[in-house]
Chain A
């Protein structure tokens, strides 16, 4: 077999068949990342529609029903199409290289979990062309509104099922890889933090994606098969949907952020030229956040009419999350403390993350306070909060990760000046877009409504201008990435002076198959 192997080395089909049939973690990682990038622009285009409509009061660009479809699909596309696949793409590229494994544990399954995604996206977006249009009840698809919607809601439900299968398979694969494929000597407490955060994220995915599948199945049978899960006339309760949905939904937001924590914990030590401060406490903090994520779900439902004991329990549990999150922010800042810092693009994104994500975390704490939440609920304050944690949190971490690892993947350095332009434009336009939304929310502007009262106009104009700038800036990102893939200054194997870890011992770009024989870690 060994002789045949030399002849076979690096051999794969060419053209489209390479990508359709691949079992290689690097190919599959690339597919995931490109898919996420495309979905990022699709979801972004929807955000542009939303901001165009909200540029001034009154109804001018789209009709309200289409506006509702845009808010619904923007969220679904960004969460399930952009952020989650981007992180799985990073996991595919990086985890085997970071733990010294020859590939993912189950390569064919890996291919399957990717190729479910384009089909799921087709179902999700296909709903737009169905009679009655796409889903319009918000991404949370609360009944009774979602029971009344048209065929687009059914497309969404089946798309969610398909996405769920993909996530569960991907998570199985990642867990099996991390638990079973580490190089000899690489004990759990020596793993890079990106790998740790993904291990815990994969566990969360396995725990909650099936719950989402269950609740949308109940929604489907309520819509078409005459069940009464969410209909009080038959003894059901629409609030039941919210409970089960958010039992999925809250761990889901940590699924979207934990790998970002991992990325930041890789980038900061590299450019501070110091080891990560408080490695052990980072691991325990990640575990604590994951555990707490299962007992905070009703903080999304404070205004629905919960018993007081329930409100208090979920408020205290939610505020408790600030403790492990605070540990993390403290450790990141301490990692930079007295480091020999340089500010290449990945580092800028990482520092931007720490700063802006913390703002989002603090507005989350405000939302956790029940009496305050009665005021903030369903206003633009909530929209501002979750864009600070999801855009300047997850997405800026993904961008930082791309700049950090792209030279390794392609063997070429990106253009540093362009990268810095991309960061600063993104950070500035992001804040112009979303900071005013805090004020809008506190002043009472409701979310998910295509029109607003006149006094909200000025902040909305700011927000829309910022959004258009933010959208355009991402074309620069696309340009930088494509240019780097095509050529550029050759990257060294270590790429960054302060980089440590197994992936940096490989050539840039790494050969098609790496770590055929596991490296020894001491």
Chain B
């Protein structure tokens, strides 16, 4: 590092370009894989491996720079601004899928029901898999072929709402522990948050298995299945990433990283965790509850 005022300017780094190459391998492999070209899955594996190694190295560098005290207050603010705006961009990503859901429910499906030109007699009720998709079962009906059962809100989803809301509380207790320099409280509640995150994911997998094996509710079950699995799936992916981030922070807490004054890494992950929490609440209301 050279001196350019107090603002830390990192030396040239090979990580970004190698990460880009990894991402390229992953993307190219993915295209080949979905088009059933044999090489595809190997390229994907290679790309994923490169990205994982680079994430270890790159984040490792940032963590050790941070612990060495290289970052001044201004650098800290750069991190804060960019994390906040990154979460904003994530909100917009979910916005695209929520927008699709609202458009489908409020416009596309009612219009399909109104026209007698294409599929006369199609009833525009939500949930639907469309005029040529399987028919949505009403509660208490016995399932048969060509039908699917919509996911009920008051089983696993309600429980998961409780779990994620509780995890928002536990991470706040962990943060208070950090602020009071009470490592015991910090580590205990950080650990509890991770347990809740994993519990959420296990129940989500359970719900998917239930949907596929017993409800005939799949990604292919028309537009209800598509919106259901894409919204909950991308959310689940974000919870998975959030949980990994929480685990990294836990390990750092156990190694004695962070001080009551400086712990942006912890806060960034907490912000992210609250973000996935809020997305879940919207999912619970609009995907599960108001059918």
Residues of chain A at the chain B interface (Cβ within 8 Å):
1-2, 4-5, 8-9, 11-13, 17-18, 20-24, 101-103, 105-109, 111-112, 115-116, 119, 122-123, 126, 151, 154-155, 158-159, 161-162, 165, 168, 171-173, 175-177, 179-181, 206-211, 213-215, 217-218, 220-221, 223-229, 231-237, 239-240, 243-244, 247, 513, 516-518
Contacts and interface: CB of A to CB of B under 8 A. Distances in A.
Contacts of B224: 235
Nearest to B103: A240
A290 to B, nearest CB: 14
A226 B24 contact: no
Given A20-B17, A158-B31, A236-B130, A513 B4 contact: yes
Contacts of B7: 101-103, 181
Majority SS at the chain B contact face: helix
Contacts of A229: 100, 104, 223, 226-227
Contact of A175 (B23, B82, B225): B82
Contacts of A247: 96, 99
A9 B3 CA distance: 8
B182 interface: no
Given A175-B85, A244-B100, A224 B222 contact: no
A100 to B, nearest CB: 11
Contacts of A516: 3-5
Nearest to A518: B5
B173 to A, nearest CB: 30
A176 B78 contact: yes
Question: 6 closest pairs, A vs B, by CB?
Answer: A214-B96, A235-B130, A5-B3, A112-B16, A235-B223, A210-B93
Given A151-B31, A176-B81, A237-B111, 16 more contacts: A5-B3, A22-B12, A112-B15, A116-B20, A119-B21, A162-B27, A171-B85, A172-B81, A172-B89, A175-B82, A210-B96, A214-B97, A228-B222, A228-B226, A229-B100, A247-B99
B1 interface: yes
A213 B93 contact: yes
A244 B220 contact: no
A151 B35 contact: yes
Given A20-B17, A23-B12, A235-B104, A105 B220 contact: no
Contact of B130 (A101, A232, A517): A232
B97 A162 contact: no
Interface in B56-85: 58, 74, 77-78, 81-82, 85
Contacts of A119: 20-21, 23-24, 27
Given A214-B93, A235-B133, A9 B34 contact: no
B96 A154 contact: no
A237 B104 contact: yes
Nearest to B11: A23
A208 B15 CA distance: 27
Contact of B17 (A5, A111, A122, A176): A111
Contact of A161 (B27, B88, B218): B27
Contacts of B28: 123, 126, 158
Nearest to A210: B93
Contacts of B90: 210
Interface SS of chain A:
helix
A158 B104 contact: no
Given A232-B118, A232-B130, A211 B93 contact: yes
Contacts of B95: 210-211, 214
B100 A225 contact: no
B72 to A, nearest CB: 12
Given A112-B16, A235-B224, A239-B108, A227 B219 contact: yes
Most interface-central of B82, B94, B95 (chain A CB within 10 A): B82
A232 B107 CA distance: 12
B261 interface: no
Interface in B107-123: 107-109, 111-112, 118
Nearest to A7: B2
Nearest to A225: B219
B282 to A, nearest CB: 15
A235 B16 contact: no
B130 A233 contact: yes
B78 A105 contact: yes
B89 A176 contact: no
Contacts of A175: 81-82, 85
B86 A21 contact: no
A227 B129 CA distance: 10
A235 B108 contact: yes
B278 to A, nearest CB: 16
Contacts of B236: none
Contact of B230 (A208, A221, A237, A513): A221
Nearest to B62: A108
B170 interface: no
B100 to A, nearest CB: 6
Nearest to A177: B78
A248 B16 CA distance: 27
A123 B24 contact: yes
A11 B86 contact: no
Nearest to B54: A112
Nearest to A1: B3
A102 B5 contact: yes
Contacts of B86: 168, 172
B14 interface: yes
16 contacts: A23-B12, A101-B7, A111-B16, A173-B82, A175-B85, A180-B74, A181-B78, A207-B88, A210-B90, A218-B230, A220-B34, A226-B219, A227-B230, A235-B108, A235-B131, A244-B99
B16 to A, nearest CB: 3
B128 interface: yes
B130 A234 contact: yes
B262 to A, nearest CB: 17
Given A115-B17, A158-B27, A247-B99, A206 B85 contact: yes
B30 interface: yes
Nearest to A119: B24
B92 interface: yes
Contacts of A215: 96, 100
A214 B98 CA distance: 10
B144 interface: no
A247 B98 CA distance: 13
Given A108-B16, A234-B132, A209 B27 contact: no
A229 B99 CA distance: 12
A237 B92 contact: no
